Amino acid sequence: MRPPARAQDARGQDRAGGRGGGRGRAPRAPRPRSSSRSSPRRSPPRGRPRPAPPRRSAARASRGRVSKVTAPTMELSPYAQGGWRLLGDPRRFPCRPYAALLRAAFRSLLEHPHAGLDDPDLKDIDPTVLKHCHAAAATCILEAGKQKADISAISTCLEDCKLDKERIEQFCTEYQKNKDALEILLGSIGRSPLHITDVSWRLEYQIKSNQLHKTYQPSYLVTLNVENSDSGSHPDVSFSCTMEQLQDLVGKLKDAAKSLERATQL
């Protein structure tokens, strides 16, 4: 009966070894780290400077910072360009009719719509061509005044219409002479009404009429000093009226002032 005892002794040794704190166990091998984990970022050595970021292009870096200032440009309609091509043709418009048409265009804008068209130098020009070229010249004058174009912009516009240097200089000279009056005219065209700053009047006594008839009628010359809020100065407004007309005007102005006073008290 010895074999069972040996087995029992062997089991006892195993239990004893287990109670001994595991001295007889072999050390476990470390588990391999998963390759999916990212390795920690290594900071560059302290002695080496960090590499600079790539430079952006100058055009991209200056986007939104530098604005290009463009000179005013003049644009004419095809109809106006066709009229200026006719004006640039010496066979249709020699020197004297060309100069007369320029004067007529400026006078029609600054004085009267039909002023200057009865010039003797224009009598040999076809009326249809004359009307077309007159409208083209007036359009160019207004466009130059509206854009406040300089001589270079006007010259570029007229060069595109096939005008020679001499005719371009002639137009620019005429434009410079009438530039101030043209700016006042364009400044008076606006949405805001004129504002009266002062009033002056003068009494005249008419004794005789043009037919040498005795009238003995007094009349008043009234001058209104006005200004425009858009352009500032503006030419004075003058008119003549009789005593009855002046009394009627004063009465209407008083009614308007009372209506405005009642409106402000509401």
- Alpha-helical regions (H) of 39-191: 58-61, 78-87, 95-110, 127-147, 151-160, 165-177, 179-188
Displacement of CA 107 from its chain's centroid (Å) = 28
Reported as type and span, the H/E element at residue 254 is helix 243-265
Report pLDDT for 194: 77
Q: With b meaning 16 or more CB within 10 Å and e meaning fewer, what string describes 122-149?
A: beebeeeebebbbbbbbbbbebbbebeb
Place of tokens 């002062």: 198
Report pLDDT for 214: 65
CA–CA separation, 207 and 30 (whole Å): 133
Q: How far is CA 37 from CA 31, 42, 78, in A?
A: 14, 15, 73
Amino acid occupying residue 32: P
Report pLDDT for 110: 87
Q: Could you list the pLDDT tens digit for every one of the 266 residues in the chain? A: 455 544 444 444 444 444 444 444 555 655 555 444 544 555 555 555 555 555 554 444 334 444 444 556 788 889 999 999 999 999 999 999 999 999 999 988 888 766 767 888 888 898 899 999 999 999 999 999 888 889 999 999 999 998 999 999 999 999 999 998 888 888 766 656 778 888 999 988 777 666 666 666 788 899 988 887 666 667 788 888 888 889 999 999 899 988 888 888 76
Q: Which residues contact 81 (CB under 8 A, 6 or more apart)?
A: 136, 160, 161
Amino acid occupying residue 55: R
- Whether residue 182 contacts residue 146, with contact meaning beta carbons closer than 8 Å, is answered with no
The structure's pTM equals 0.47
